[in-house]
Amino acid sequence: MIPKTIKKTITTLLVTFVLLTSCKSLKTAIYDQHSYEQSISLKVDALDLMSKAHQPYVDHENEINNYLKEFKKLKEYEKNKENNEFSYEMLQLIGDPEKNLLGGFFKRWKTKKTISDFMIKEPKIQVEEAFDILIKYESNKNKEAISKYLNK
Amino acid sequence: MDFNKILEEIKANLLALVNKKFFEYKKEGKKDMEAFIKQSEEKLKRWTKALENKDIDLDDFEWLVKSQKDLLVMNVLYQTGISKIKLGHFKNSVVKTIIKTVSDLVLNKE
């Protein structure tokens, strides 16, 4: 026979347990090596492409389209991962042609044909920072995955 | 060029975003966001100087300021995501504590 005080403690703990485990909004996708490597690769290629914007857009159109295809692949990959809304939102923002990061830069390049040195240099800083945030976020998921293994 | 006005608008838009989409992480997000806005001042000064020197036109300037706004949103997404991860760690610790407490009370009781 379990004493009353212990029964009460167990009940309290179980209620807390149920409340916490049902709190789906706290779940975050675990670290993904593919996402991390792809984000770094896309960052390097993006900055490389942006450096060419003093040349006519049409000269690099194929290169840009191939890049955007790779970008879209990662976006779809992130979209279909569970509890991964922040990484996906970040990628959406970086690639959106209506915003003013990478997608917006490509759109502007296409419209203006060529871009001035200052307007290549400064947006490159912005795009680099945006990718760094995405990459840092992915690597922070790493700690969660590692701590899960260590605490098992 | 009124820097304070631009910064205030950015701050207000971001607060609206945090309130609307990430209400549960509001407190932490706001603190980090303010620190990030402070970091934007240097860029805004550089871009204004380029505008004054006619290295860029108003359209370029506007594009850059908007890019900083987008970067601030990126930062808010990052901070709220990190808060979520931290809360997730806390949740895991609580679950472990519950299991240990129950097992100590039930299985190891005299």
In a domain, B34, yes or no: yes
Question: A with B: how many residue pairs have Cβ under 8 Å apart?
Answer: 118
Q: Which of B85, B91, B110 to mutate to test the interface with A (most CBs of A within 10 A)?
A: B85
Q: Which tokens sit at A3?
A: 């004493």
Domain total of chain B: 1
Q: Could you report the predicted ipTM of this complex, rounded to two decimals?
A: 0.79
* Residues B72/B36, Cβ–Cβ less than 8 Å: yes
* Chain A nearest-CA residue for B43: A122
In a domain, B108, yes or no: no
- For B85, the closest of A13, A90, A140 (CB atoms) is A140
DSSP state of A75: H
In a domain, B67, yes or no: yes
Percent composition of chain B: helix, strand, coil (DSSP 3-state, to 5)? 90, 0, 10
Residues in contact with A147: Cβ distance below 8 Å, sequence separation at least 6, in sequence order: B89, B92
Q: What is the pLDDT along chain A (152 residues), one digit of tens a residue?
A: 566 766 666 666 666 655 555 555 566 788 889 999 999 999 999 999 999 999 999 999 999 999 999 999 999 999 999 889 999 999 999 999 999 999 999 999 999 999 999 999 999 999 999 999 999 999 988 655 555 545 44
Neighbours of B90 (CB within 10 A): 12
- Say whether A126 and B67 touch across the interface (CB within 8 A): yes
Range of the domain at B55: 3-83
Rounded to whole angstroms, how far apart are CA atoms B68 and A120? 15
Rounded to whole angstroms, how far apart are CA atoms A115 and A108? 8
Domain limits of chain A?
28-150
- Say whether A140 and B92 touch across the interface (CB within 8 A): no
In a domain, B102, yes or no: no
SS3 readout for A14-55: HHHHHHHHCCHHHCCCCCCHHHHHHHHHHHHHHHHHHCCCCC
First to last CA, chain B: 76
